[in-house]
Amino acid sequence: MSRFYCHDDYEHRRDAERDARRGTPDRDYYDRYSDDACKEVYTQAYDEERRRQEHRDQIQRDHEEDECRMARRQEAERAAAEEYELQQMEQEQFPEEQFPEEPTP
C-alpha cells in the first residue's frame, strides 16, 4: 500500500465494482504497479469484485450442470420404468407356456 491516503476511497471502490461487473476496468485507475493510493484502492476493489463475480458464475454453472445431470437421470429412470411396464404387459399377454413334466422312469 502506498504511503499516501486516498480521499475518495468510497467512490473509487464503487466505480471499481461497477466496472468489474461490466468487465472493463478504467484504464486511468486500474494499475497493479502504481504507488498512487487511489489507483491501489480501485485496482484492489476491481480485482475483488471480479473474483466474487467469477465465484458466482462458477456456482451458477455448477447448479446448471447438476440440473442437467438430474434431468438425464430422471429420463433414464422413466425409460427404465416404461421398459419394465412393457415387459410386464408382454408377459401378461403372452405368458410362457408351461411344459408338462416328463415322467421319470
CA 41 to chain centroid, in Å, comes to: 30
CA distance 1 to 46: 16
**Is this model's pTM higher than 0.85 or not?**
no
Question: Of how many residues is the chain composed?
Answer: 105
Report helix, strand or coil for 21.
helix
Do 29 and 15 form a contact (C-beta atoms < 8 A)? yes
CA distance 38 to 16: 11
pLDDT tens over the chain, length 105 residues: 445 667 788 999 999 999 999 999 999 999 999 989 999 999 999 999 999 999 999 999 999 999 999 999 999 999 999 999 998 888 877 766 666 677 776
| Set of cell numbers at residue 23 | 468487465
